[in-house]
Structure 1
Amino acid sequence: MKLSMPRFEQAPVLVVGDVMLDRYWHGSTSRISPEAPVAVVKVNQIEDRPGGAANVALNIAALGAPVALVGVTGVDEAADSLSASLDAAGVTTRFQRIAHQPTIVKLRVMSRHQQLLRMDFEEPFATDAQALCAEVDALLSGVKVLVLSDYGKGALQNHQALIQVARAKGIAVLADPKGKDFAIYRGVNLLTPNLSEFETVVGHCLDEPALVTKGAQLMHELELGALLVTRGEHGMTLLRPGHPALHLPARAHEVFDVTGAGDTVISTLAAAIAAGEELPQAVALANLAAGIVVGKLGTAAISAPELRRAVQREEGSERGVLSPEQLLTTMDDARAHGERIVFTNGCFDILHAGHVTYLEQARALGDRLVVAVNDDASVSRLKGPGRPINSVDRRMAVLAGLGAVDWVVSFAEGTPENLIELIKPDVLVKGGDYGIDQVVGAEIVTAYGGTVKVLDLVENSSTTAIVNKIRSQ
């Protein structure tokens, strides 16, 4: 399955559900209390993070997608903290604030990255379901996906009203369910229970065939568009009517904390589907995202650059031969990590020691080196009949094998000006006895504040000389 990075900025999503504040008290432990056999934590840091449906919205915003959030809170400091954090992340919030009821707070006491204690402050909300549905209806204009993030805390009182108002507008509905009654999610486009939640409803599944059979029956009974069962270390299973089951293995390299992993899954799914991805591709992206987030401490969001880098690893485009489109995506990620891009170009028909030295020197001028290679037709125009000796695919393959070279791309024009204009390298490098004003693309690079460098070539190293010597034998 081929993956690509969706255009999340064009994927507006609305999240409705149970918002909560995840609060962390961090501190050191060096002694046991004289009052009871418990550790004494000297708190030196307090950290607040959006949790529940608020974490789903935060994850969507971190991917770069426009997102609004509807939920229920109290009228208190915790609600103010939630609003401030979400506003800072670019999330549009519409909270139904209920006096005399506390905002849900999950307080975790942490020491040396280990959770020692969790305390929950919560009461079921007396939500005004009609007002909440009207708020959702007003926000659906322009939205492509509605997410129901249900933690069973009372924000969602009339699931069917929300589902029907969205479906009537042609908006896909995704639901992360809670409880034993999945009938309240009837008609959603995608339901995303974890294995425990799924088995609570359908019964224990001895193996994957049993899971598939019971999942198919559930989809039929509830008229679901699709069912995604997240299975922890066993990955995910996507079921769709009329399609074979799709089993995806877990992608985590190291599991540090599974808190909020389900939020990451549904947020990535929602943003990817809103961006136009087909469901199998969206699920694969969500699987990659979950593999990243379980390596983090506590409730966390993953960013677009993190997901983009995971996609590049998946597609093998961290290094090597790329198309211009792949190169742009890869460079976006490199720049998001503060890396400096160096660009050079040439025919590189027969690679020799002079080329290797030159490319190593070019690479030393930045963090990543792009080598643009003339295609075969342009080499023939430049060098004459009988050239190139090696086809462009072979020339690029050899260059990609050099330690100094990160990415190799070809171009068909006589000069790489169009490519330089497209990718806008930080440093443009050319080898030879040139003035900077003679380097092709120099004006383009200097115009946007880039740097142009001319490097000396190694003496007595020339592809043309090698070719002539071979021909004279």
Structure 2
Amino acid sequence: MTSSHFNFQNKHILVVGDVMLDRYWHGGTSRISPEAPVQVVNVSAVEDRPGGAANVALGLAKLGIKVSLVGVVGRDENAATLEEVLVREGVECHFVESDSLPTITKLRVISRHQQLIRLDFEECEDSLSQNQAVADKVLSLLPDANAVIYSDYAKGCLADVKKLISMSNEAGVPSFVDPKGDDFSIYQGATLVKPNMVEFEAIVGKCTDLKEIEQKGLELRERFGWQSLLVTRGEDGLVLLEEGKNSFVLATAAKEVFDVTGAGDTVVAVLTAVYTTSKRFSDAVDYANQAAGYVVGKLGTASIDADTLEAIMFARSHSANFGVLSPEALQEQIKLAQLNGEKIVFTNGCFDILHPGHVAYMKQAKALGDRLVVAVNTDASVKRLKGEKRPVNDLTHRMAVLEGVGSIDWVTWFDEDTPLEIIQTLTPDVLVKGGDYTIESIVGSEHVLEHGGEVKVLSFVDGYSTTSIIEKANN
């Protein structure tokens, strides 16, 4: 991931915990069952995603980190499915197979983006042989790890977590815990423990204000010898209590909460990843907060890649109203501009090496309205379109250069192969494309026209192309 400010590629993180398979059945609902007063879902698609500790591992792999995952599964088809999905994403699986337990599976039935029901298939077991098998695998993997995450869902894999944390400490590997249950003494000596507000209050009692959270949190951290305690408070943000430092409080980065599934997994994955490079808990929590704000806007267990994470942080450091903005922040600014009677022009591309042809094209596009938006393909998207050797310049570099072009008001990004989703999100007044296109063939044209907008095709200035510049430089 060349765009990331942090060099994640050289890191190896071990994830240990309760793995599960999240299965989604998607389908339409148009009638009520004659057998009972319930909706009938005509299942048209089945989707399998890693859940629990497996989702934490997936989140790390998406960041470009080497990940090893230890968990307990059954000797069944769902275990094979889970491993197949994880291996495809680059996760090394070191599963303990149980003859007596099924692979934990959560089946969700979804219709029209609404979850109708969840069915859980699981049994828990705390056996000496299982605990020893988990410990053996952890012990063999610790020497090569920069950090270890213990993702506890109270399903049995971390029944002996106190011993595992002690092993981590002996190996000099920092441990990050996503806890569960009403006994936090089992996490004695961890580097950082990350309860949510419900879990925190189950241990310390009801907290009426931030001051009480800080006071009880400090006592808890000192009692169990943690370097840091991070309390995630949903819409109220996060509180970091670090040894020898003042409390660090952040407001939530979430703009719209669509689905909280996997948000905690994202927080622990991103903060551990960032900590392995910066060694600063405050940096790690800041990035984790932004990542969580992103994933809760997605349906189901979602992950964030290094491209998108770095772009969000880059946009946040810029002007609040113009320049580089996240798609969500830009949507708000466009609505305000349109209410003010301004016409929004939209174009998109890779813009790997900006040349005079691009600049002339931008001037033509800007002349069609009042504000020009340029949406840029992320690095991963460019690679899929142009090949492994592209882009030459990473996303933040490309956006920074575009931001300096006088005719451009806003720069944002998209990770999909086409800009359809971001066009639907922003709904510009004018959609512009350069090249030999018909209006009907331009991605997003139907949406813009349906909403009363225009679609324009502009000619590129002859004699300029990124490919020819790269070829010339290589000769």
Q: Which residue of 2 aligns with 1:157?
A: 159
Q: 1:236·1:248 contact (CA, 8 Å) conserved in 2? A: yes
Q: Secondary structure of 2:82's partner? A: helix
- Tell me the CA shift for residue 235 of structure 1: 0.8
Shift of 1:190: 0.3
Partner in structure 1 of residue 69 of structure 2: 69
- Do the aligned partners of 2:70 and 2:95 also contact (CA within 8 Å) in 1? yes
- The one-letter code of the counterpart of 2:106 is K
User: Which range is displaced more, 128-137 or 200-209?
Assistant: 128-137
Deviation of 1:121 (Å): 0.5
Alpha-carbon separation, structure 2, partners of 1:285 and 1:8: 14
| Secondary structure, counterpart of 1:215 in structure 2 | helix
Return closer, same or farther for 1:316/1:442 CA change in 2, 3 Å cut-off. same
Q: Is contact 1:73-1:104 (8 Å) kept?
A: yes
2: CA distance, partners of 1:368 / 1:397: 10
Residue 124 of structure 1 contacts residue 153 of structure 1 at CA under 8 Å; is this kept in 2? Answer: yes
Q: Distance in 2 between matches of 1:100 and 1:108?
A: 24
Aligned CA distance change for structure 1 residues 205 and 81 (closer, same or farther; 3 Å): same
- Deviation of 1:212 (Å): 0.3
Partner Cα separation in structure 1 for residue 36 and residue 123 of structure 2: 29
After TM superposition, list the pairs within 5 Å mapping 1:236-251 onto structure 2. Answer: 236-251=238-253
Task: Provide the C-alpha distance between the structure 2 equivalents of 1:259 and 1:163, rounded to a whole number of angstroms.
Answer: 26
Deviation string, structure 1 residues 375-431 (Cα, Å, up to 9, x no partner): xxxxxxxxxxxxxxxxxxxxx999554328969xxxxxxxxxxxxxxxxxxxxxxxx
CA distance in 1, matches of 2:140, 2:274: 23
Change in Cα spacing, 1:124 to 1:406, as seen in structure 2 (3 Å) is: closer
Letter paired with 2:77: E
The aligned counterpart of 2:120 is 120
1:107 partner letter: L
Equivalence map 1:121-200=2 (5 Å): 121-127=121-127, 128-200=130-202
CA distance, structure 2, for counterparts of residue 155 and residue 44 of structure 1:
34
> How many angstroms does 1:343 deviate by?
2.5
Question: 2:404 & 2:224 partners in 1: Cα distance?
Answer: 55
Q: C-alpha deviations, 1:207-241, integer Å up to 9, x for none? A: 00000000000011101100000000011110112
Q: Could you state the TM-score of these two structures normalised by the residue count of structure 1?
A: 0.71
Could you say which residue in structure 1 is the equivalent of 2:15? 15
User: 1:340 and 2:351 equivalent?
Assistant: yes
Cα distance in 2 for partners of 1:278, 1:159 equals 25
Q: Is the 8 A contact 2:403 2:410 kept in 1?
A: no
Indicate how the Cα distance of structure 1 residues 233 and 320 shifts in structure 2: closer, same or farther if over 3 A, else same. closer
Question: Are 1:6 and 1:277, in contact at CA under 8 Å, matched by a contact in 2?
Answer: no
Residues 1:22 and 1:360: Cα distance change in structure 2 (over 3 Å): same
Shift of 1:305: 1.6
SS of 2:96's equivalent in the other structure is strand
Indicate the residue corresponding to 2:363 in structure 1. Answer: 360
State the 4+ residue runs in structure 1 displaced beyond 6 angstroms. Answer: 361-364, 404-407, 441-444
Alignment correspondent of 1:94 = 94
For each residue in 1:156-214, what CA deviation from the matched residue of structure 2 results, as whole angstroms up to 9, or x when unmatched? 12112111111112110000000000000011110000000000000000000000000
Q: 1:5 Cα shift?
A: 3.0
Q: What percentage of residue pairs aligned between the two structures are identical?
A: 46
Asked if 1 retains the 8 angstrom alpha-carbon contact of 2:70 and 2:94, the reply is yes
* Amino acid of the structure 2 residue aligned with 1:132: V
When residues 93 and 399 of structure 1 are mapped into structure 2, their CA distance, relative to the original with a 3 A threshold, is closer
CA distance in 2, matches of 1:218, 1:442: 59
Question: Structure 2 vs 1, CA of residues 368 and 45 (structure 1 numbering), >3 Å: closer, same or farther?
Answer: closer
Deviation at 1:242, TM superposition (A): 2.2
User: Which amino acid letter does the alignment assign opposite residue 301 of structure 1?
Assistant: S
Unmatched tracts of structure 1, length 5 or more: 322-336, 346-354, 370-395, 408-434, 451-473
Work out which of the two has the higher radius of gyration on C-alpha atoms and give 1 or 2: 1
How far apart in 1 are the matches of 2:365 and 2:187? 58
* One-letter amino acid of the counterpart of residue 74, structure 1: G
Q: 1:277 offset after TM fit, Å?
A: 4.2
Q: CA deviation at 1:320?
A: 5.8
Instruction: Give the Cα separation in 1 of the matches to 2:359 and 2:24.
Output: 52
Q: For 1:34-65, what per-residue CA distance to the aligned partner results, in whole angstroms no more than 9, with x for missing partners?
A: 11111111111111100000000000000111
Q: Distance in 2 between matches of 1:139 and 1:190?
A: 20
Letter in 2 for 1:343: L
Q: Do the aligned residues in 2 keep the contact of 1:137 with 1:165 (CA within 8 Å)? A: yes
Partner AA of 2:119 in structure 1: M
Other structure's SS at 1:269 match: helix
**Aligned-pair CA distance for 1:135:** 0.8
Shift of the 111–216 alpha-carbon distance from structure 1 to 2, 3 Å rule, reads: same
Question: 1:90-138: CA deviations, max 9, x gaps?
Answer: 0000000111321000111110010000111000034511121111111
CA shift in 2, pair 1:400/1:340, >3 Å: closer
Residues of 1 paired with 2:359 and 2:469: CA distance? Answer: 26
Q: Which amino acid aligns with 2:471?
A: T
1:215 paired with 2:226, answer no
Q: Secondary structure at the match of 2:258?
A: coil
Residues 23 and 106, structure 1, Cα contact 8 Å, conserved in 2: yes
Report the CA distance between 1:444 and its aligned residue. Answer: 6.5
Q: Secondary structure of 1:141's match?
A: helix
Q: Displacement of 1:340 after TM fit?
A: 2.8
Distance 2:402 2:39 in 1: 59
Cα distance change on mapping 1:113 and 1:358 into 2, 3 Å: closer
Distance 1:129 1:447, change over 3 A: farther
Does 2:297 align with 1:295? yes
Q: Tell me, yes or no, if the aligned pair for 1:11 and 1:272 is still in contact at 8 Å.
A: no
Question: Which residue in 2 is equivalent to 1:103?
Answer: 103
Q: Tell me the residue number matched to 1:402.
A: 407
The count of corresponding residues between Structure 1 and Structure 2 is: 366
Aligned: 1:446 with 2:442: no
